[in-house]
C-alpha cells in the first residue's frame, strides 16, 4: 500500500474514533472559541466533526480528485465554518458546517476539473454538479413516455429544471464533454507533425499596422497638448490628475488639496472638458474617447 494511502487510512481511522459531542458541549466549545479564541476548544470542535468532513469528501471521489486532497479541502471548509459559526443563532454546528465543507470541496473540484477554468458562479456550480443527473432522469422519463428529445429540447428542459439560463447549459455541456489537449499535440498523422499551435491566427500587429498606429498616437498626443494650452492652470491640473495618471485621482482628494468642494471640482473638470472638446472638434473622433 502506498504511503499516501496508509496516511489516509490512519487519518480516517483516527477521525472516526474522535469523541461525539452533545449539543451542550458543542455550544460551550463554540462560545470559548468565539469569545476567548481558545485554540484548545477549536481543536476539539474540529476533531469531533472531522468524520463529517471525511464522509462528505468521499461523495466527490467520482470526479477523479485524489481522496487526500478532497479530505484536505473538506478540513479547510470545516475550519472556515468553525471560525464563522455564531452559537447564538440556535443551530447545531454540524448543520452549519456541512454547507461550508461542501462548498469548499466543490470549489476545489471545479478548479481542478480542467486546465480551463470552468467557472464558480452559483449557476455554473449548480450545473456542474447536477447536469448529468438531471439529464439522465429527463431522458429516462421521455423514453418511458415514448417521446424522443433532440439536443435542443433536452437542454431547454435542463435549463428549466435547474433554473439556469439556456446559454449556461450549452456552455457547461461543452466543458463537460470536452477534454484538455496540448497545443503542441499533432493534428493528425497526415499533417507530418503539424501541431495545433501552428493553426492559431497570429493576432499581433503587422509591421505596417504598427507604424500606422504609432503615427496615429503621435498625432493624438499633439492634438491633446494643443487643447490643454487653452485651459487655466487649475483646469489643466485637474485634467492631468483625473485623466493622465495611471491611477486617476478622486474628486474628493483633489477638492481637499485645492480647498474646493467635490462639486466645484466636478464643475471645473466639466468646463475643462468642454473647452478641450471644442478645440478637438476639427480633429475627428480619434480623441473623443479621452473626454468620455
Q: What is the pLDDT along the chain (292 residues), one digit of tens a residue?
A: 444 454 555 656 777 777 888 999 999 999 999 999 999 999 999 999 999 899 999 988 877 788 888 999 999 999 999 999 999 988 899 899 999 998 888 888 877 765 444 455 677 777 777 787 888 888 888 888 888 888 888 888 888 888 888 888 877 776 666 554 444 555 555 545 566 445 455 555 555 555 556 666 666 667 677 777 778 888 888 888 887 777 788 888 888 888 889 889 888 888 888 887 777 665 554 444 444 5
Segment 124-129 long-range contacts (CB within 8 Å, at least 24 positions apart): 124/168, 124/171, 124/172, 126/162, 126/163, 126/164, 127/162, 127/164, 127/168, 127/169, 127/172, 128/172, 128/176
Which pLDDT value is given to residue 142? 86
Which pLDDT value is given to residue 175? 66
Domain 215-291 classification at class level: mainly alpha
Straight-line distance from the first to the last Cα atom of the chain, in angstroms, rounded to the nearest whole number: 66
pTM of the model: 0.47
Which pLDDT value is given to residue 82? 92
Which pLDDT value is given to residue 151? 83
Residue 143: count of CB within 10 angstroms of its CB: 11
Q: Please determine, looking at this structure, whether the domain spanning 3-113 carries the CATH number 1.10.10.10.
A: no
Amino acid at each position: 500500500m502506498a504511503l499516501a494511502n496508509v496516511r489516509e487510512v490512519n487519518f480516517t481511522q483516527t477521525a472516526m474514533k474522535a469523541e461525539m459531542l452533545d449539543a451542550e458541549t458543542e455550544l460551550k466549545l463554540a462560545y470559548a472559541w468565539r469569545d476567548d479564541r481558545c485554540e484548545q476548544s477549536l481543536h476539539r470542535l474540529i476533531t469531533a466533526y472531522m468524520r463529517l468532513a471525511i464522509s462528505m469528501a468521499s461523495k466527490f471521489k467520482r470526479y477523479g480528485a485524489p481522496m487526500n486532497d478532497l479530505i484536505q479541502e473538506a478540513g479547510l471548509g470545516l475550519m472556515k465554518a468553525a471560525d464563522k459559526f455564531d452559537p447564538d443563532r440556535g443551530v447545531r454546528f454540524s448543520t452549519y458546517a456541512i454547507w461550508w465543507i461542501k462548498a469548499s470541496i466543490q470549489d476545489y473540484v471545479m478548479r481542478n476539473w480542467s486546465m480551463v477554468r470552468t467557472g464558480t458562479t452559483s449557476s455554473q456550480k449548480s450545473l456542474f454538479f447536477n447536469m448529468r443527473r438531471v439529464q439522465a432522469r429527463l431522458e429516462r422519463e421521455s423514453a418511458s413516455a415514448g417521446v424522443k428529445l433532440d439536443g435542443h429540447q433536452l437542454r431547454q428542459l435542463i435549463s428549466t429544471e435547474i433554473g439556469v439560463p439556456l446559454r449556461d447549459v450549452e456552455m457547461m455541456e461543452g466543458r463537460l464533454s470536452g477534454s484538455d489537449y496540448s497545443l503542441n499535440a499533432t493534428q493528425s498523422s497526415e499533417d507530418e507533425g503539424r501541431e495545433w499551435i501552428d493553426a492559431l491566427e497570429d493576432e499581433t500587429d503587422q509591421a505596417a499596422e504598427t507604424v500606422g498606429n504609432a503615427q496615429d498616437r503621435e498625432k493624438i498626443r499633439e492634438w491633446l497638448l494643443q487643447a490643454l494650452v487653452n485651459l487655466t492652470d487649475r483646469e489643466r491640473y485637474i485634467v492631468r490628475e483625473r485623466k493622465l495618471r495611471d491611477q486617476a485621482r478622486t474628486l474628493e482628494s483633489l477638492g481637499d488639496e485645492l480647498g474646493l468642494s467635490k462639486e466645484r471640482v466636478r464643475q471645473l473638470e466639466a468646463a475643462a472638458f468642454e473647452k478641450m472638446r471644442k478645440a478637438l472638434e476639427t480633429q475627428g473622433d480619434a480623441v473623443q474617447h479621452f473626454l468620455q
